[in-house]
Chains A and B, each alone.
Chain A
Amino acid sequence: QITLKESGPTLVKPTQTLTLTCTFSGFSLSTNGAGVGWIRQPPGKALEWLALIYWDDVKRYSPSLKSRLTITKDTSKNLVVLTMTNMDPVDTATYYCVHRAATALIDYWGQGTLVTVSS
C-alpha cells in the first residue's frame, strides 16, 4: 500500500530556509501519471496547496509562493524534497506530503509534520 512520511526540522528561525523531505513507498515516481505534492495547514486554518512534482519532472507551484518554493525528486531513493526560503512566523503550519494519482486525485496523505517559525 502507499505510504508517505515527512521529515525535517520542527523549529526554524525567521528568514531561514526550510527543507522538508518526503519518503514514500508503494509506488514509483517514474510511473506515468504519478506525482507527489505538498499541502500545508496553519493551526486551526484551511488547507493550502504548495507544490507538485510529476513523474516526468514537471513541477507546479502555488502562484502566491512560487518565488520561495523549490520541489525536487530522487526517483531511485523514493523521495521528494521541498525547500521554502525566507521563512516567516505566518508559515507556521503542519506540512503534509501527498500522493497524486494518474487521475490527478490526491488520494494518500502523510501524517504531517508541524513546523514552527519563531526566533
Chain B
Amino acid sequence: DIQMTQSPSSLSASVGDRVTITCRASQGISNSLAWYQQKPGKAPKLLLYAASSLESGVPSRFSGSGSGTDYTLTISNLQPEDFAAYWCQQYYSTPLTFGGGTKVEIK
C-alpha cells in the first residue's frame, strides 16, 4: 500500500495569507495526486488533479506542484470561503489512499 503523509494536520491563517500544505507518498506516484476541499457536513470537492491541474471552476488562487513522492498545495490570498479541511489522495494504484487531512482555521 502507498502511505500518504500530509502536513500540517492543522494551521491558523488570516484572510490574504499564503498557505502551503504538503503531502508525501511512501513511493513514487507519477503525479497521480488529487487535492480535495471539504467543508463541514459536505462531501469533498475536487480542487486539483494530476498534481497541478486545476479542476474547472476552481479559483486560480489554488495551485499544486510536485513530482515523484512530494507534492504541495498552495492557496494564495486566502479567502473566507477557503477555511475548510483539505485532503490529498493518490490514485496511482489501489488501494487508493488519503493523507491525514489539514484543517485550515481562521487566526
Interface set of A (CB-CB < 8 Å, partner B) = 37, 39, 46-49, 52, 60-63, 96, 103-112
Contact = CB atoms under 8 A, between A and B. Distances in A.
Main secondary structure, interface of A, reads strand
Interface in B45-64: 45-46, 49-50, 55
A107 B46 contact: yes
Given A47-B89, A105-B34, A52 B49 contact: no
Contacts, number: 55
A110 B34 contact: no
Nearest to B97: A49
A48 B98 contact: yes
A60 B94 contact: yes
Contacts of A47: 44, 87, 89, 98, 101
Q: With a 10 A CB-CB cut-off, give which of B42, B95, B99 has the most chain A CB atoms.
A: B95
